[in-house]
Amino acid sequence: MTDHAGGTPLETIEIARRIADIASEKQGADIVVTDVRGLSSITDYQVVLSADNTRLARAILDEVSDKLKKESVRPLHTEGLGPDQDWLIVDYGPVMMHVFTPEKRALYDFDRLWPQAKTVLALQ
């Protein structure tokens, strides 16, 4: 992956799809990839998913991180790594991953933040 400014949309969407695939394999649920280019000043794609509990959320984050690291894709920043965090965020620059427990996802209604965003991929 090249940096955010020099990256191509194809590389960026491949990272977003890869995150979704890995999360799905690790029992992530309600996975949605949205294109927020032109709507967000901090990223191009959002990958939002649910995990049944905080332990599974952390396992999904670790699996995504480990597999992408092997593909030379490293996060710029990670938030929510405490023991009882129910919203984990991983910033890959042009792609942001958000892992919620179902309760927190419903509470924050995160999926509705960008109603104009185009859904690129949705996995149940």
Q: Is residue 20 part of a domain?
A: yes
Q: Is residue 3 part of a domain?
A: no
pLDDT at 6: 45
The DSSP secondary-structure symbol of 70 reads H
Whichever domain contains 105, its CATH number is: 3.30.460.10
Q: Is residue 1 part of a domain?
A: no
**What is the value of pTM for the model shown?**
0.87
User: How many domains does the chain contain in total?
Assistant: 1
Q: Is residue 4 part of a domain?
A: no
Helix (H), strand (E) at residue 48: strand 45-50
Instruction: Report how far Cα 17 is from the mean position of its chain's Cα atoms.
Output: 10
Question: Which residue range is the domain that position 65 belongs to?
Answer: 9-123
Over its length of 124 residues, how does the chain's per-residue pLDDT go in tens digits?
444 444 444 589 999 999 999 999 999 999 999 999 999 999 999 999 999 999 999 999 999 999 999 988 999 999 986 667 889 999 999 999 999 999 999 999 988 888 999 999 999 8
Cβ-contact 19, 99 below 8 angstroms: no
Taking the alpha carbons of 89, 96, 61, 99 in that order, is the dihedral positive or negative? positive
